[in-house]
Amino acid sequence: MPTGREQIVELLDQIDQLPFAQRVTPAEQAQALADELGDDELRAQARIVLLRAYNYSADRTRMFAPFSWLLQRYDEQPSWFGDYERYIVLWTYKWMIHGLLDHPDVPLAQLHSSLDGMRRRYAEAGVGLQPVLGVEYHLTAHLHGASAAREAFARWSRAERNDYSDCLGCEPTEMARHHAELGDHVRAVETVEAVLEGTTQCAEQPQAAIAVALASLLLTGQTARAAAAHLTGSRISRAFPDETDYIAAHVHVLARSGELGRGLDLLSERLADVEAPPTPWAGMQLAAVGARLLTAVIDAGHGDLAVRARGVVDAEPVPVLRARLERHATELAARFDARNGTTRVSHLVQSWLSADSLPALPLGAAGRRLGPTAAPSAAVPNAGSPDATNDVPRWPTHPRAPRLDALPALDGSADPADLAELAERVEAAARFAHRSSSELLRAHYLARREQALARFDRPEADDADRRHLAELEYLLAWGSRRGPLDAAAREGARQAAQLYRALGEPAEALLVEQFVAVADGDHPRVLALIADVDAVGGPVERARARARGLVGHEDRPGDVTARELAAAGLTLLGPVAAEDSAQRRGVAARLLLAELDEAGALAAPGAAEQAARVLALVPEDYVDVAVMALIHQVHARLMQDVAEAPDVEPLLAEAERRTVLAGAGEGWARVQLLRAQIAMAEGEFEDAERRLTAAVAGLEQNDSPVGVADARSRLAGLLHGQGRPLEAIEVVEAGLAQLDTPEPPATLEPLQRNGFSWYLAQLQRIGSRVCVELGEQDRALELARRVVSRRQQLPDRAGLADALYELAGLLADESPLEAVSTYAAALDEAQLAGDAALDLVIRRERVWARKAADGVEAALADVDDAQAAGERWRERLLTDPAAAESLADWDFDWEPLALQELRVRLLASDDQAERALAMLDAVPGGLGAAMRAQGADLGAAELDLVQGRLLLDCGREQAGLALLEAATEVAREHGHDGLREAGASAIARWLDEQGRPEEAQAAWERLTGEQA
């Protein structure tokens, strides 16, 4: 750590360059070091830096100590307290009183005393009192409301601004808040017009003005503008932990405008701020508007939902959370009122809780529907049609399952028939694979388990009773939520295995233990148990063991492959007919389906027929298998080599019908995802967007992180491609807030983990590209780094090479040295992956970073390397099929010309005009002529602009101007206005620099038709 004065000054300068969210810790260290050094001037500077860091953090209360220290020194006015430090003290006074207001434990007398002290010190300093009047208005409005503060507002707004006034973005924002509270929404919007238009910005703008004016925009009919403002403002504020109150304003508007899904997204991200807010006022506001949102959710029929705060495992039911938030808000409001001696804050909170509805906020794909208020009709007459509803089917239990509201009590009065009835329901739930049914049954049994064990696990109980008990104990394991098994699940599995062995059914016991090994991700044990089942089980049990061995299976050298496992299981079962038992048919269907899951299997001949065979075999209640069979059949038919895509609509409609009938929301969402892919391929982007939005909602409701990452990445890519970057980035960020953790979710099987990481990397990649378009370079770079990190977890080296290549491109301007090393890493991965095209692209693209890092000669050497690599790859085309496929579209005749042009541009950028001109002439007939011969007229014209400038630099005026004019004329012929203007500008600028302004003006007007 630095200890000398110069080192601490340097540290303070470095802190000022950091993002606000990263300043607090180093600023605290700087203050401690300055105190240790005992340099009073440095101690003051450190506290000034610390004040700013605290003000933009989630803990503003810590500002008071360094400000009190500065204020004391200010009054003492030592010689080292200069103009800048005095300015900071007077300016910060506004922050401090505003901050004190937001804490109900600060006495009212202290607030008035602080305002008096501010007034006195401003007067003594000889500066205008306009900032003091602004704070006076704020205090009055806080205590009594905007209506009672009209006179204070008038004094403030009439006073002349000075150097201590808030900026031209923040001051109008507070004035707009006054107008909005009085109901003058037109004036509220007008007051912050400059901020909303983007002409006035600061660290808190435009997001503060947007938060204040958002409801007013809707109430004045500016709905599209409100939607765009919401997407912009919420995106900015989500990045700052101290802007909870701004987020709360967005949540309130979302609640009142019916955008409940998006409101829940924002609320869940900030829910922890209710208990640990940047200020108590912000926590109270978030709690109140959150309760208003949850009231709307319940009123819309979604009271059965639960909200999970970011970073929290357990979700909180909506009714419970609403009650907690409302209680928190009203209790805090009462504390504010007790401090203030008025009831204004309680009335304000009640107005938030009961605020009227607003016009709809047209968010498009950035919004999120919660789904229907009731299950869809079982008839589903329009399923699959273009007008079909995209509501996610939600059933508390499988519709074909026995009713669960009259389950046997299993108390001391129960008899064995009760146990048998419950066991039958468990067996049905296992067939339906309906998680909600399983979880309800599990909870019912778990609450009564002790009585069941006491009554039925006794010597006099018969084998049927013990078998029922084993099935119920096994339910504790497979009926639990996806993820690591809890203690009850493990104990249930142990008891079940023990009971099955006591019944003389060791194969069933081993299958239970195999299930536990699958849940633990212990795949070696999963495979080892297959041999144990083989030793004691019959054909069906042995086939089941292999089917279970396929869950999470990864083909590794020397191990049994997934195809071998599936084939062995099918051989054990032998011929399976439709009249066989449901269990036998179900196992066969899963094994056949596993064969189709192999890489390339769906493109192989007969894949569609095998999928149809699965569908014919699978029992009606096995909805998950049936839907996957239908989806595989669609994929296989689309991959057929036919002139016209086959009609797959009947298959999709059948899949949709089955999922709706079964209330299988995840399967239904996957059908929508497939429909969206087909729609995108056919150019039906509006339908694709609707389907993808529905798929995201369905997969989120059914806790499918792999599917959510897939659907969100496709939706974000579609929106980006349609020129809707704000919606695209919201789709990305909402997904990353939900999914982006250091490790894949524990609920995923091993095979799913790779898929999850791949799709999440795709989502991050699209986000990075959108951020580049939005000018958010830091965020783009951060996401690109995370893409690389995700790709490093996967075996796909080509994907990693591509991610490294994109990251290097983003680094090229900011950090050329790191860009060069990143390009080198990308090149290594591309070579390991055998991706010839990417290999050549990387070699060409890295030259500019190389020039910035190591100079033009090193860059030229890289160009030579790229040309040599291209020649090597060209020689390998006949002997390397993979290279031939990768380079199928590579133009080897054009490549030497492109590389020579690159050399010319490198030399031109290094002011080596003569050498660059020699490079142009090195190509027979000239490089420009060679490019035109290849049909690249515009490319040749761009090169002519470079050559024309070079000729002018070398004093060859006539040739240079002629070439520039010729290039400009080519641009005009091709309608390329940008190139035409560049040529005209180059001529006019050179003539002007030569002291010939009239000629420059004439040339510009002649070549562009515009006045200079």
Question: Over the stretch 779-824, which tens digit does the pLDDT of each residue have?
Answer: 999 999 999 999 998 888 889 999 999 999 999 988 999 999 999 9
pLDDT at 578 over 50: yes
Give the model's pLDDT for residue 762. 95
Q: CA neighbours within 13 Å on the CB side: how many for 761?
A: 24
Give the model's pLDDT for residue 443. 79
Task: Decide if 805 contacts 849 (C-beta within 8 A).
Answer: no
Give the model's pLDDT for residue 506. 95
Question: Over the stretch 86-117, which tens digit does the pLDDT of each residue have?
Answer: 888 888 888 888 888 999 998 999 899 989 99
Segment (H or E) for 464: helix 463-478
- Nearest in space to 64 (alpha carbons), one of 103, 119, 109, 29: 103
Give the model's pLDDT for residue 374. 38
Give the model's pLDDT for residue 216. 97
Question: Over the stretch 744-757, which tens digit does the pLDDT of each residue have?
Answer: 777 776 667 888 89
Question: Over the stretch 189-212, which tens digit does the pLDDT of each residue have?
Answer: 999 999 999 888 888 899 999 999
- Nearest in space to 393 (alpha carbons), one of 707, 657, 621, 709: 657
pLDDT average, residue stretch 35-41: 79
Residues 256, 251: Cα–Cα separation, whole Å = 9
Percent helix, strand, coil in the chain (nearest 5)? 70, 0, 30
Give the alpha-carbon dihedral of 985, 988, 990, 994, to 10 degrees: -160
pLDDT average, residue stretch 263-289: 93
Token couple for 186: 């037109």
Residues 443, 486: Cα–Cα separation, whole Å = 13
Give the model's pLDDT for residue 209. 96
Residue 360 DSSP SS3: coil
pLDDT average, residue stretch 50-62: 72
Task: Decide if 109 contacts 144 (C-beta within 8 A).
Answer: no
pLDDT average, residue stretch 358-374: 76
- What distance separates the 2 farthest-apart alpha carbons in the chain? 115
Token couple for 701: 């409701």
Residues 693, 675: Cα–Cα separation, whole Å = 12
**pLDDT above 70 covers what percent of the chain?**
90
Give the predicted TM-score (pTM) of the model: 0.75
